[in-house]
Amino acid sequence: MDRTILHCDCNSFYASVETLLDPTLADGPSAVCGDPESRHGIILAKNEKAKAFGIQTAETIWQAKRKCPGLRLVAPHRSEYVKYSRKCNELYLQYTDLVDPFGIDESFLDVTGSMHLFGTGEQIADELRRRMREEVGLTISVGVSFNRAFAKLGSDYKKPDVRSVFSRGNYRDKVWPLPVNTLLYVGKRAADRLARVGVHTIGDLAACDPSFVHHIFGKMGDTLLRYARGEDDEPVRSFYAEREVKSVGNSMTFAHNLLGEDECRLGLTALCDNVGRRLRKRGLVCQTVQLGIRDPEFRNRSRQTTLERPTNSTRALIETSMALLRTHWQMDKPVRLLSVTAANLLPENQSCEQLSLFESADAVKRRDRQHKLDQTVDALRQRFGDQSVVFAHSVKKKDENKENTQNKPG
C-alpha cells in the first residue's frame, strides 16, 4: 500500500508572525529585514502585498524600497518564530508522531497510519489548514502525495492556503511538466547543468538514462532521478527520534568590515569559541574545518582542510581557521562576514588518532592541558554565564575601542 505523506509549509512565515505581533502590518506591503545599521540590510521575508511589487527575498533594502517606497520594514523577532514553529508542530503531532521538521516553517507528516482515525490525506490536510488559521493564526499550503519529494512539490504548487494532491494517477500530467528546478534539491547550478544537456522539466529528467545522470552528478544524480520518477522511498522520521548531527557551524556579519589579521582573529575567535563549545557539549570531534568568507560586495569564498587529528579544541579551531584565512585571503582586503563549520564529525570517545612517532611528549601534554582547560571554561560558563570567561585579547580590544571613543575630540 502506498504511503500518504503531507508537506505543510507556512505561508510567508516570518512576515505572518510579525503581522500577528502587529496587525497593522496587514494594511499594506511589509517586509522583515535585518537592521541596516548592523549591516544585515537584506529582505528576509515579505507579505503578499509586498510580493505584488516584485520584492524578492535576499535583495537589499534599498532595492526593495526603490520598488515600493511605502514598504514598511520590521526587524526580525527570532524567538517568536521559534515559538510559532513549535505551535505548528504541536498541531501536527495531534495527528501523527511521524512529523519531520524541514526547517523552521515546514514539516513532513506521514499520516498513513492515522487515516482510520482522521480520514483521507486530503481531509487531514484541509483540517490542518482550517485549524492552523483558527487556532494559530497562520496559513499553510499542504502537498499530499505518496512520497516526500512530490509532497514538497505539492505545497509549492499553489499558494497561499491551498491543498494540492499529486497521486499515482496524476503525477505524470501535473509533476512532469514542471520546471526541473522545482524538484527537491535541484538548485540553480544543478538546473543550469541540466539545461545545458537539454533537460528542462522534471519529465525530461525522469526520461534520462540513469548512467547519464550519474555521470553528471554522481550519487546525488541517482537521488534526483528517483525523485523525478516518483520512486522516493525516504521515510518520515518520528518527531521524537534523535537527529544525527552532521556539522556544527556558526557565522557572523560584522558591524564593520574587518581589516587585518588582528581583527579577523578576533572575529574567528568568537566563532570558534561557539563551535568548540557546542562540539564538546555533544561529545563530538571534527575531522574537517570549513571557513567561509564574504566581502562587502557579497562575493563568497569557501575553503576547508582535513585535520591530522580530530578535535573539539577551541584553540585548535582558531589556529586552523586562521591558517585557512592567511592562505586564501589577502589581509589588506575587507571582510564582511566569516563562518566556521566543523564537519565530518565523530563521537569523541570513538575517534581514533594516528599516533605520530615524531610528536614529543610535551606536545601531547600541551594538548591534554588544553582539553582540560576547555572543559573547565565550559563548566564555569555553565554555572556563572557565558560572559564569566572570555578571551583576553577580546577584552583588550574592547578597552582599546572604549579608550579611542573617550579620546575623540568634541
Residues 280-325: pLDDT tens digits?
Answer: 988 899 999 999 999 988 888 999 999 888 999 999 999 999 999 9
Does the annotation count 106 as an active-site position? yes
From CA 94, how far away is CA 83, in angstroms rounded? Answer: 17
Q: What is the pTM of this model?
A: 0.69
pLDDT at 356: 43
From CA 247, how far away is CA 48, in angstroms rounded? Answer: 35
For residues 205 and 170, is the Cβ–Cβ distance under 8 A?
A: no
pLDDT: which is higher, 389 or 15: 15
From CA 286, how far away is CA 353, in angstroms rounded? Answer: 12
From CA 158, how far away is CA 156, in angstroms rounded? Answer: 6
Q: What is the dihedral of CA 140, 145, 150, 154, to 10 degrees?
A: -30
In total, the chain counts a number of residues equal to 410
> What percent of the chain has a predicted confidence (pLDDT) above 70?
83
48, 106, 348, 400: the catalytic one is 106
Tens-digit pLDDT profile for residues 261-273: 999 999 999 999 9
Of all residues in the chain, what percent are helix, strand and coil, respectively (each to 5)?
Answer: 45, 20, 30
pLDDT at 309: 85
Residue 189's pLDDT band (boundaries 50, 70, 90)? confident
pLDDT at 335: 94
Q: Which residue, 86, 88, 102, 49, is CA-closest to 71?
A: 49
